[in-house]
Structure 1
Amino acid sequence: MPFPPMIADPAPKAGVLRRVFGNTARLSGGHGLAAILGIAALALAARTLGSTGFGELVVVQAYALTVAGICRFNAGGVVVRFGARCLGEGRRGDLQGLLLLVLLLDLGSAAVALLLAELLVGPLLPHLGWPPQLLAFARPYLIVILFAQSATPLAVLRLLDRFDLVAWHRLVLPAVRLVGVLLAMRAGGGL
């Protein structure tokens, strides 16, 4: 047998390549638009909050995302690898069980991350150089940890070949951030 194996009909290969390039274009467009929205939100937040307020926001955001990242159970690869096998073999019940398990792991890791972040923010505050009044902002802001878990939903969309929805999904967070900044600006709010 020659290496690599010869493909008898080039038409299926062309169809696969068309899908790959189409999915790549969708994802790239989604990433590009998300970056533009994110930069707009950052610029408006920096302008609205000033350098001190914006710096405090960035520090709290970094703390929240660091704790979320440490506690994250990233099961996206598990969903794609084993979910594809279940789909290919028609084992719908096994796929549902896998998705339920991964959902519970994601929810559990998000809850642990939120609890850990809330418990540690007070004792760490003096060591991080945060002003004491920042604690009043940091505690409710840590809820963002619950929304930092997006690997599994994206993996399910990839598994189901819904790269169009993956591109839209990538736009949600920057769009919500931009709307939030615009609403805060309109209300004259700060941290």
Structure 2
Amino acid sequence: MTTATTAEEGGALRRIFANLGLLASGKIGAGLLSLCYVVIVTHALGATNYGILILLHGYTTLIGSLIAFSGFHGVVRYGNFALQAGEHGRLMRLIRFMALLEIGCGAIAILIAMVLVPFIGPRLGWSADAMRFAIPYAFAIVATVRATPYGILQIAERFDLLGFHQLINPLVRLGGCLLTLALGGGLVTFLTIWLLASLAEGLSMWALGLWILRKMRLSHGLVGPVRGTIAENEGLLPFIVTTNVDITLSEMGPKLAPLTVGWMLGPAAAGIFSLAQRASVVLQQPAQMLANSSYAVVAKLIAQQDFKGFRKAVWHSAGVATAVGVPMCLILGTFADPIMHFIGGRSFTGSGTAWILSLTAAGRLLTLGTAPVSPGLIALGLPNKSINAKLMGNLLLYPALPPLLWWLGLNGAGWHALLQSAVIAGSLLWSFRVAVRRYKRGELEVAAV
């Protein structure tokens, strides 16, 4: 019995890291492509115009994160239960329901982003050209409206396609940047490239999801009713609302920080801070990939009532992630100044800029180490615990950012990012340990839907 259980636990962990490997193959390629286009755009625009580009894109994606609906956890959790039971009609009604909800919220987000441009742009120091382009740029929100097909690919375990999809946005950006490098162009040209890349990212995910859905050969087609979706999936509505809030809170902190820096210190400071975030994303991206690759596996373990295998998979994934992240964080901290100079050029270097990268990297390390814990809590049906952690880190600590910027200048943003990550990581670990203890005492029932 022990041997069989150990084999099942090892199998779950192997599946998580096999999925992670498929995602990482695409992400590594995307990272290399991103490095190339970031070097081009930062050297071409300088810190101020690059800051305007980042602020406009950050404003648009923040509105998308706040309003658009991300329900891939609901598609994966309830879709897996329906698929395990052979209820193809229930699965298709769920997918239709989530797709309509997501597309509707995305359309509302685009309209809101357009309406707020005249009020937000001047406060963030946008140039006249950026102000004129900001309204059509709202369609970049399409890149965030892709959670339903993302969930379909996870159910089908097509992590190879998810890895491939990560190359689309950086490929479009790099191709556009190389063309601009050859023919010339300024801020509006790069904004156009970023918009086209966002459209390609969102629409291509829908194309992949629909293609795989057809290949799954389910007994029910794509077109059909959605009536009864909430009734036949007990707890669906509160689950997708809370997981959507969880994702929104996760993304809000990183998106609010550059906007606040730009609001208080100007576009150039926002450009430097954003470049530090970009350089340290080598730690953030594995965290997101690990969370995404582990959720499909741990959700299946919960559906199979294998709690021991689930617990081992979460803790082992967290340990491996931390071990991998420590040397990467040390490299970023040790060579912070030359890294910033290489990527951005002279306008991105100066007194204190190396500290920004070091502090940001340390915060990313904490995020990487606890990446599997959040999907573990969601799979247990406790998304509120993950929400509470991110609520404390991203919202309750946000008021500390302006005073830190006023007191320490740009370095205040780095210390604030580290503080946020420490609070979120500590709260997630504590909540997961409590949930495990409650289960052992029989106080927590993990039921299949």
**Which TM-score bucket, shorter chain as reference?**
0.7 to 0.9
Match among 40, 44, 66 for residue 44 of structure 1: 40
Q: Counterpart of 1:113?
A: 109
Give the stretch that moved more between structures: 58-67 or 178-187.
Answer: 178-187
For 1:110 and 1:143, how far apart are their aligned partners in 2?
9
Runs of 4+ residues over 4 Å off in structure 1: 7-18
Unaligned runs of 5+ in 2: 189-449
For 1:114 and 1:104, how far apart are their aligned partners in 2?
16
For 1:63 and 1:142, how far apart are their aligned partners in 2?
9
Could you tell me whether the CA contact under 8 Å between 1:27 and 1:163 is conserved in 2? Answer: yes
For 1:122 and 1:93, how far apart are their aligned partners in 2?
46
- What are the within-5 Å matches in structure 2 for residues 76-87 of structure 1? 76-87=72-83
Match among 39, 59, 66 for residue 63 of structure 1: 59
Could you tell me whether the CA contact under 8 Å between 2:52 and 2:125 is conserved in 1? Answer: no
1:94 aligned to 2:94?
no
SS in 2 for 1:152: helix
Q: CA deviation at 1:181?
A: 1.7
Q: CA deviation at 1:17?
A: 5.0
Q: Counterpart of 2:122?
A: 126
Scaled by the length of structure 1, what TM-score is found?
A: 0.86
For 1:149 and 1:188, how far apart are their aligned partners in 2?
32
With over 3 angstroms needed to count, the CA separation of the structure-2 counterparts of 1:184 and 1:148, relative to structure 1, is: farther
For 1:43 and 1:51, how far apart are their aligned partners in 2?
12
With over 3 angstroms needed to count, the CA separation of the structure-2 counterparts of 1:94 and 1:189, relative to structure 1, is: same
For 2:5 and 2:49, how far apart are their aligned partners in 1?
62
Q: Counterpart of 1:74?
A: 70
Could you tell me whether the CA contact under 8 Å between 1:125 and 1:132 is conserved in 2? Answer: no
With over 3 angstroms needed to count, the CA separation of the structure-2 counterparts of 1:131 and 1:10, relative to structure 1, is: closer
Q: Counterpart of 1:162?
A: 158
SS in 1 for 2:121: helix
For 2:84 and 2:124, how far apart are their aligned partners in 1?
50
Could you tell me whether the CA contact under 8 Å between 1:71 and 1:113 is conserved in 2? Answer: yes
For 1:21 and 1:46, how far apart are their aligned partners in 2?
34
SS in 1 for 2:185: coil
Q: CA deviation at 1:152?
A: 2.4
Match among 141, 148, 167 for residue 145 of structure 1: 141
Percent of aligned positions that are identical: 35
Could you tell me whether the CA contact under 8 Å between 1:67 and 1:113 is conserved in 2? Answer: yes
| Higher normalized contact order (CA 8 Å, seq sep 6+, divided by chain length) | 1
1:189 aligned to 2:192?
no
Q: CA deviation at 1:56?
A: 1.4
Q: Counterpart of 2:170?
A: 174
Which amino acid is 1:134 matched to?
A: A
Q: CA deviation at 1:11?
A: 6.8
Could you tell me whether the CA contact under 8 Å between 1:76 and 1:154 is conserved in 2? Answer: yes
Which amino acid is 1:39 matched to?
A: L
Which amino acid is 2:124 matched to?
A: L
For 1:186 and 1:139, how far apart are their aligned partners in 2?
28
Scaled by the length of structure 2, what TM-score is found?
A: 0.39
**CA RMSD in angstroms, aligned pairs only:** 2.2
For 1:17 and 1:170, how far apart are their aligned partners in 2?
23
Q: CA deviation at 1:7?
A: 5.5
Q: CA deviation at 1:91?
A: 1.1
For 1:129 and 1:141, how far apart are their aligned partners in 2?
17
With over 3 angstroms needed to count, the CA separation of the structure-2 counterparts of 1:17 and 1:63, relative to structure 1, is: closer
- Give CA-to-partner distance per residue, 1:1-45, whole Å, 9 cap, x none: xxxx64648776666554443222212222222222122221111
SS in 1 for 2:69: coil
Could you tell me whether the CA contact under 8 Å between 2:76 and 2:155 is conserved in 1? Answer: yes
Q: CA deviation at 1:116?
A: 0.3
Q: CA deviation at 1:78?
A: 0.1
Q: Counterpart of 1:54?
A: 50
For 2:141 and 2:3, how far apart are their aligned partners in 1?
48
